[in-house]
Structure 1
């Protein structure tokens, strides 16, 4: 695309996006510029694509310190609201607004969406088993490991499945996390640590002047 079309896209995106998210207008402008820079670096055509799964996963790993491939893949799908297998500029800003400025409620919803892997709105026993197995790297045999994980699944359901239907609904998840905040990322880290967010902001917003927008 031409420089003119990129500048037009940047202006349009910034004007449209900053009304919708918890980041400031000046920060949205920086995120949009960074998005276009990353897309260009990934050799993806700006006019019809954004960041694909590999490019986005590399950002989650190198910038936000995530290492779990399974969870990074799920984070990608939560960012990708229109399910077209790439992150567009609106999805980029919306997802990062949760990472950087998200309220507790927004982060609660985000984590739950990451964890219900089959998209049915519930975290079932099998999904809990797979996520716990993925996050626990024990040096025991697979059979012993599986038995231990099954016990953890039972403990988790006993603690979080308030209506005793054998799966965790959003209402179950919210109630459990509100009672014990450490359960927010109970099935694996899917939000960046505060230090990684601070480092990202220092990089992304370094050109913002200390003025009101």
Structure 2
């Protein structure tokens, strides 16, 4: 058993060496912890058709349990940004690449990430329809006599006036980036898709400190 765990440790160290050279924001020791953490999450994966990765359902439950996310549309968008090869499963490298932005990304990296999450159909634009769907999903509306959809349509128009710099009725990445750089609060304007600082600290403490204590 100790020989096997020794082999596993060597494999993990070799993989960590490779990944840490390709991914920003994590050192080799942290990447080792992330690999171990990933294998633990995969072992709990209910679906066995993911070839050692995290399927959409398991990924959603991680976002919910560890980072307090509740919006399925946003969580599916986060899954798409992590699953770069679009094979329906997040591999260990995709997981670590995704977390590098999710947990420690620069503003520039986070702008790209959020834009991808909000671009529901992957056509490199956030359309009026996508804005409407995202806002309808993320706003906690109070029941009123008015048609709530009308209020959301108004909000979409107001948002477009503020963010659509080339006035083509949709948001390109350039529009989105310019608006967020001018007003950082707009980064997650269409729904919470990044963890708050408390969640990040809790997750990193659990992952990087506690693992080395055992």
- TM-score under structure 2 length normalisation: 0.90
1:140 match: 143
- Matched residue of 2:147: which SS? helix
Is 1:123 aligned to residue 126 of structure 2?
yes
Does the Cα contact within 8 Å between 1:13 and 1:89 map onto a contact in 2?
A: no
Once residues 58 and 40 of structure 1 are traced to their aligned partners in structure 2, the CA distance between those partners, rounded to angstroms, is 14
Is 1:59 aligned to residue 81 of structure 2?
no
Cα distance, 1:207 vs. partner? 4.8
Identify if the C-alpha distance between structure 1 residues 25 and 191 changes in structure 2 by more than 3 Å, giving closer, same or farther: same
Once residues 142 and 77 of structure 1 are traced to their aligned partners in structure 2, the CA distance between those partners, rounded to angstroms, is 37
1:15 match: 17
Cα distance, 1:74 vs. partner? 0.9
Cα distance, 1:156 vs. partner? 0.5
Match of 1:176 among 172, 176, 179: 179
1:107 match: 110
Q: Which runs of 4+ in 1 moved over 4 A?
A: 2-9, 43-47
Deviations 1:30-77 (A, max 9, x none): 000100111012256599230111111111111111111110111011
Give the number of equivalent residue pairs: 208
Deviations 1:156-184 (A, max 9, x none): 10100000001000000000000000000
- Matched residue of 2:21: which SS? coil
Consecutive unaligned residues in structure 1, runs of 5 or more: none
Once residues 46 and 143 of structure 2 are traced to their aligned partners in structure 1, the CA distance between those partners, rounded to angstroms, is 43
Once residues 9 and 38 of structure 1 are traced to their aligned partners in structure 2, the CA distance between those partners, rounded to angstroms, is 18
- Matched residue of 1:19: which SS? helix
Match of 1:83 among 83, 86, 100: 86
Once residues 92 and 46 of structure 1 are traced to their aligned partners in structure 2, the CA distance between those partners, rounded to angstroms, is 17
Q: Which has the higher helix share?
A: 2
Once residues 208 and 171 of structure 2 are traced to their aligned partners in structure 1, the CA distance between those partners, rounded to angstroms, is 38
Once residues 100 and 136 of structure 1 are traced to their aligned partners in structure 2, the CA distance between those partners, rounded to angstroms, is 24
- TM-score under structure 1 length normalisation: 0.90
Match of 1:93 among 80, 84, 96: 96
Deviations 1:130-179 (A, max 9, x none): 11111123123596101111100100101000000010000000000000
Higher RCO (CA 8 Å, separation ≥ 6 residues): 1
Once residues 49 and 207 of structure 2 are traced to their aligned partners in structure 1, the CA distance between those partners, rounded to angstroms, is 20
Consecutive unaligned residues in structure 2, runs of 5 or more: none
Identify if the C-alpha distance between structure 1 residues 134 and 168 changes in structure 2 by more than 3 Å, giving closer, same or farther: same
